[in-house]
């Protein structure tokens, strides 16, 4: 009886480890597929880094799913930028505050564009995807420009805007693959 129980426990542990190994192999294959698709984008390393960690959530990996991953990552990055605005606006000078408030509105616009982009992905509408990404890129550039216009030496959102601009280029590249 004890021996049978021990054998059953060993068999269950073996089955669980095989299942875990299979999942790891599948996830590794998906990450490799993401990396291969990302090679065709303007910033392959950024594409792979941002999309690769989401690959295991998708049953298949193709240009369309990598695009979805990028849009999701873009949205998260935009939300993080808005959180940064909320933190910085409290201590900002009046001119910096006006620039930060504009940037916050522009990030909201970008989030609206991402909603349109998600709908366009559902229809495989590459033209709309590129248009929404162009508008989002323009929002990031307008944010940077506002800081220059008001004479602020440092834009506390510059790092966000640079990465978001790269992500817009990645999304446009991916839209050409669908």
Q: List domains and CATH numbers for the chain.
A: 29-175 (1.20.140.40)
pLDDT at 32: 93
CA distances from 79 to 67, 75, 96, 156 (A): 18, 6, 20, 15
pLDDT digits (tens, 9 = 90+) for 60-112: 999 999 999 999 999 999 999 999 999 999 999 999 999 999 999 999 999 99
Q: Which of 83, 84, 85, 143 is nearest to 110 (CA)?
A: 143
DSSP 59: S
pLDDT at 1: 62
pTM for the complete prediction?
A: 0.82
């Amino acid at each position: 009886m004890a021996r049978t129980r021990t054998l059953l426990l060993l068999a269950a542990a073996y089955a669980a480890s095989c299942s875990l190994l299979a999942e790891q192999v599948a996830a590794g294959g998906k990450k490799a597929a993401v990396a291969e698709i990302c090679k065709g984008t303007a910033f392959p390393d950024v594409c792979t880094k941002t999309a690769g960690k989401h690959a295991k959530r998708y049953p298949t990996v193709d240009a369309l799913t990598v695009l979805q991953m990028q849009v999701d990552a873009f949205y998260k990055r935009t939300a993080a930028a808005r959180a940064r605005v909320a933190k910085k606006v409290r201590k900002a000078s009046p001119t910096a505050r006006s620039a930060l408030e504009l940037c916050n509105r522009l990030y909201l616009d970008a989030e609206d564009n991402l909603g349109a982009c998600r709908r366009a992905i559902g229809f495989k509408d590459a033209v709309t995807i590129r248009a929404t990404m162009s508008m989002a890129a323009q929002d990031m550039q307008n944010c940077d420009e506002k800081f220059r216009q008001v004479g602020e030496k440092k834009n506390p959102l510059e790092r966000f805007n640079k990465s978001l601009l790269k992500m817009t280029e990645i999304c446009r590249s991916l839209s050409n693959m669908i």
